[in-house]
Amino acid sequence: MANTLSSGAIYSSRVLIRCSSSERGGQQRSNAAVRVNGATHRATLQVGAALETSINETLAELSAPLLAPATDGRERSRQNIPTEKQAEDPFRQAQIVEGGVRYQQTVVVRSYEVGPDRTATLETLLNLLQETALNHVWMSGLLGDGFGATHGMIKSNLIWVVSRMHVQVDHYPLWGDVLEIDTWVGSSGKNGMRRDWLIRGRGSGNIYVRATSTWVMMNKNTRRLSKMPEEVRGEISPWFSDRHAIHEEATDKIIKLDSNARHVDSGLKPKRSDLDMNQHVNNVKYVRWMLETIPDQFLQHHQLSSIILEYRKECGSSDVVQSICQPDEDSVSPSENVTMVRGPSLLPEFINGHHSLAGALQQWPTKYTHLLQLKAGDGYEEIVRGRTTWKKKL
């Protein structure tokens, strides 16, 4: 993954994992290709790859920040969040630690944040990642223009846009668990920024969730991706940490599915309650659509252990969405009976009881590839590609 720079505190980022284009309205979209370094690029942005070599044309649509400066003072005041830089936030049970590099917040898993199995849902985890990233920005005192924009960014009309998100769930926290969430930023390639998170049990220190995300800069007027100006690099790099929450060996491109895929849900329409502050569909709804396309029978017996999202375009309230998914042919779990025979070994712990069997089954992780796209004219435009990994429920 991304190369790494020096340690330091964070002073950048905006709300992650949302695609929004508030300044142009949800329904206006252009298909203009992204220009970086004077050339037009059409390839998908890879994590850690230099912007010069690989930019998806539709990434331009990941445009305005979720919390873009409002167009009038009245709208701007519609929040009640601290605007002063601070080291402690008692009400959010948060603090800046490690010499300013890391934001840390304590949260308790609430009764309505868990699913039928009494563990936090993936939606809850995604929400907490968003919340802590934003709170980190507040506590840094950079709440003004652009939500995470530095002075140099504001001067150049630059904003942060998220292009990729990878969440790995080692264990789902239980209802009532007290969690400690850490988040920090780092460098990603020449022009990107990385934001990472760790969710741990308070006290035990057990790791529940690791996550990383990639951010790039966009000119908010031209909607084009931008190199990171030297001035901005100078401003933010002192706050970068070289710690990684997930050590990604290599990041394979997520292939683009088409409607010949195994499972296709069409005609999906956002509800009012699915919209975020910018009237766009929120990230949690994206993930719901993706997962609801997987057959119930599979979901009953499997638990998501990892999700990678590559964002392309925002989805507005009147869009009609198609959710497509396809299991990897070479990753589908064999049935339990078959596993007993095909297991890599027949050690005693393998044949002795439920737990060991489940452990053996986990040697065949099941993967799905996902695509959400919206109807545009006669065709479709990509919203987000996804890749999920699953393990057998115990």
Question: Catalytic positions, please?
Answer: 278, 280, 315
Rounded CA gap, 266 and 259, in Å? Answer: 10
Rounded CA gap, 54 and 45, in Å? Answer: 5
CB of 244 to a copy of itself, least distance (A): 25
CB of 223 to a copy of itself, least distance (A): 22
Options 152-160, 266-274, 328-336, 372-380: segment touching a copy of itself (CB under 8 A): 266-274
CB of 142 to a copy of itself, least distance (A): 15
Cβ-Cβ contacts under 8 Å for 242 (sequence gap 6 or more): 4, 5, 6, 7, 186
Binding flag, residue 190, a copy of itself (CB under 8 A): no
Which residues lie across from 215 on neighbouring strands?
Answer: 162, 193
Select the residue interacting with a copy of itself from 111, 260, 297, 345 (CB under 8 A): 111
Nearest to 302 by CA among 325, 332, 329: 332
Binding flag, residue 91, a copy of itself (CB under 8 A): yes
Long-range contact set of residues 329-332: C-beta below 8 Å, sequence gap at least 24: 331/364, 331/365, 331/366, 331/367, 332/364, 332/366
In the chain, what is the straight-line distance between the N-terminal and C-terminal CA atoms, in Å?
32
Which residues lie across from 280 on neighbouring strands?
Answer: 316
Options 43-51, 117-125, 207-215, 246-254: segment touching a copy of itself (CB under 8 A): 117-125
Structure tokens belonging to residue 305: 């252990």
Nearest to 180 by CA among 122, 67, 103: 103
CB of 106 to a copy of itself, least distance (A): 6
CB of 271 to a copy of itself, least distance (A): 6
Nearer to a copy of itself, 136 or 194 (CB): 136
Select the residue interacting with a copy of itself from 108, 264, 340, 358 (CB under 8 A): 108
Binding flag, residue 271, a copy of itself (CB under 8 A): yes
Nearest to 333 by CA among 297, 359, 365: 365
| CA angle 215–167–97, rounded 5-degree value | 70
Cβ-Cβ contacts under 8 Å for 15 (sequence gap 6 or more): 65, 66, 67, 130, 133, 134, 147
Binding flag, residue 281, a copy of itself (CB under 8 A): no
Options 161-169, 240-248, 279-287, 353-361: segment touching a copy of itself (CB under 8 A): 279-287
Q: How many residues bind a copy of itself (CB under 8 A)?
A: 49
CB of 138 to a copy of itself, least distance (A): 8
Which residues lie across from 268 on neighbouring strands?
Answer: 321
Select the residue interacting with a copy of itself from 278, 323, 333, 339 (CB under 8 A): 278
Nearer to a copy of itself, 9 or 16 (CB): 16
Nearer to a copy of itself, 54 or 93 (CB): 93
Binding flag, residue 339, a copy of itself (CB under 8 A): no
Structure tokens belonging to residue 56: 């998806």
Side chain identity, residue 42: R
Select the residue interacting with a copy of itself from 4, 33, 154, 175 (CB under 8 A): 175
CB of 210 to a copy of itself, least distance (A): 20
8 A C-beta contact, residue 387 and residue 326 = no
CB of 284 to a copy of itself, least distance (A): 7
Select the residue interacting with a copy of itself from 27, 71, 85, 115 (CB under 8 A): 115
Rounded CA gap, 181 and 124, in Å? Answer: 13
Select the residue interacting with a copy of itself from 9, 47, 134, 158 (CB under 8 A): 134
Nearest to 311 by CA among 165, 149, 157, 122: 165
Nearest to 148 by CA among 216, 222, 247, 229: 216
Select the residue interacting with a copy of itself from 279, 293, 326, 366 (CB under 8 A): 279
Rounded CA gap, 281 and 318, in Å? Answer: 10
Structure tokens belonging to residue 110: 């609430």
Select the residue interacting with a copy of itself from 50, 97, 154, 174 (CB under 8 A): 174
The residues that touch a copy of itself, with contacts defined as CB under 8 A, are 15, 78-82, 91-93, 106, 108-112, 114-119, 121, 123, 127, 130-131, 134, 173-178, 202, 271-273, 275-279, 282, 284, 288, 291-292, 296, 299
